[in-house]
Amino acid sequence: MKNSPLAQLLLFRVRIFYREPSAVFWTYGFPILLTVALGIAFRNRPPERIAVAVEEGEAADTIAGVLTRPDYKDTFSVAVIPPEECAERLRIGRAAVVVTARSTEGTFTYQYDPTRPESLHAQLRVDNALQRAAGRTDPVTVEVQEVTRPGSRYIDFLLPGLLGMNLMGSGLWGVGFVAVDLRVRKLLKRFTATPMRRSHFLWSMVGARMLFTLPEMVVILLAGALLFDVPVLGNYLSIFVVVAAGGACFAGLGLLVASRAQRIETVSGLMNLVMLPMWLLSGIFFSTENFPDLVQPLILALPLTHLNNALRTVILEGAPLASQWLPMLVLLAIGGVSFHLAVRLFRWS
């Protein structure tokens, strides 16, 4: 084993990686910084006060008086202003709803932008407050219960997506970019004089990347748990198996992309071409269900979609590994086919 070409190449890749501080930072440090930044930006906060613009008029002070009562102090932010300024605030989003009172007719007019969900919500809240002030009562007694469960926050949704994104990036850049960099610097040609097969070199690239997946997973999950109390409901071994399948898939894709590229600019463009659809469509930052049905077949064709779905199901729902056989099969199939093609297409110079 000591003189095995594959073992020596693996040791070579590991040593090269840990001797590069920038590689260590982008693999382990950057995901933590990204998790912290996005976790703070999208942390759970109390609802913001609804900005209400009331057109100046005879009944404007009455409306403002209702909406500024003590029980609405944390609900509405009210400004009584001229009609022109009301329209401008509504246009630029500084007001969610505009209220106009016609005292002679005893009616209210609401203006809001239906393309903004918060405007519809604001109109309903304002109307409810004004109707209650006019004496409306509910015909049915209701009871409201606020429920917050582990895994329901945005940071809980985001963390598995960041883990999947990092596996994609490290697989493509950490394998594909490195291979082309070695080719550009004429270092790959030297390997041809050694007693090894092409597959030994390619397996060492994939194997070294796989060795980094465990600390990569631990770093991201630990950061989420310690900093934002993200729950991990699944079995850690199951999570690691999913992570390993994703890492193998993207390492194979990285080799395939780099198998023929002769320049750094070429492989960079190819990797961005591969990654961009997955950045946008694979559910890293928001649910794939936000896209129309027409796009769903394309989304399901992307490996990162299957990886993110499997990670969220195992981490946040505690699902057993056996329930994720389909995404695992897709990831391993894509990785296996990519590696096979890379072995056939790869060239040293």
The whole-number pLDDT of residue 243 equals 92
The mean pLDDT of 251-263, rounded to a whole number, is 86
The whole-number pLDDT of residue 40 equals 77
The whole-number pLDDT of residue 105 equals 58
Contacts of 260 (CB under 8 A, 6+ apart): 345, 346, 347
- The three-class DSSP label of residue 55 is strand
pLDDT for residue 332 is more than 90: yes
pLDDT for residue 237 is more than 60: yes
- Largest Cα–Cα distance in the chain? 96
The predicted-structure confidence for 259-304, as pLDDT tens digits, reads as follows 888 888 888 888 889 899 999 899 888 888 888 889 899 999 999 9
The predicted-structure confidence for 146-202, as pLDDT tens digits, reads as follows 766 666 788 888 889 989 998 898 888 888 888 888 787 777 777 766 767 777 777
The whole-number pLDDT of residue 103 equals 59
In eight-state DSSP terms, residue 174 is I
The whole-number pLDDT of residue 11 equals 80
The whole-number pLDDT of residue 150 equals 62
The whole-number pLDDT of residue 205 equals 78
The whole-number pLDDT of residue 337 equals 93
Of the two residues 2 and 296, the one the predictor is more confident about is 296
The predicted-structure confidence for 38-69, as pLDDT tens digits, reads as follows 777 776 666 788 899 999 888 888 888 888 88
Give the Cα separation of 164 and 245 in Å (integer).
11
pLDDT for residue 26 is more than 90: no
- The three-class DSSP label of residue 325 is helix
The whole-number pLDDT of residue 135 equals 83
Q: Which domains, and CATH codes, for the chain?
A: 5-42+153-345 (no CATH), 50-133 (3.40.190.10)
| 98, 86 contact by CB (below 8 A) | yes
The whole-number pLDDT of residue 326 equals 93
pLDDT, mean over the chain: 84
pLDDT for residue 333 is more than 90: yes
The whole-number pLDDT of residue 255 equals 87
Angle separating helix axes 236-258 and 264-281, nearest 10 degrees? 140
- The three-class DSSP label of residue 51 is strand
- CA torsion angle for 227, 230, 234, 240 (degrees, to 10)? -40
Residue whose structure tokens are 């073992």:
7
The whole-number pLDDT of residue 3 equals 65
Of the two residues 168 and 73, the one the predictor is more confident about is 168
The whole-number pLDDT of residue 242 equals 93
Among 72-86, 255-269, 326-340, name the one with the lowest average pLDDT. 255-269
pLDDT for residue 126 is more than 70: yes
The whole-number pLDDT of residue 311 equals 94
pLDDT category, 313, cuts 50, 70, 90? very high
Strand order in 97-102's β-sheet? 76-81, 50-55, 97-102, 107-111
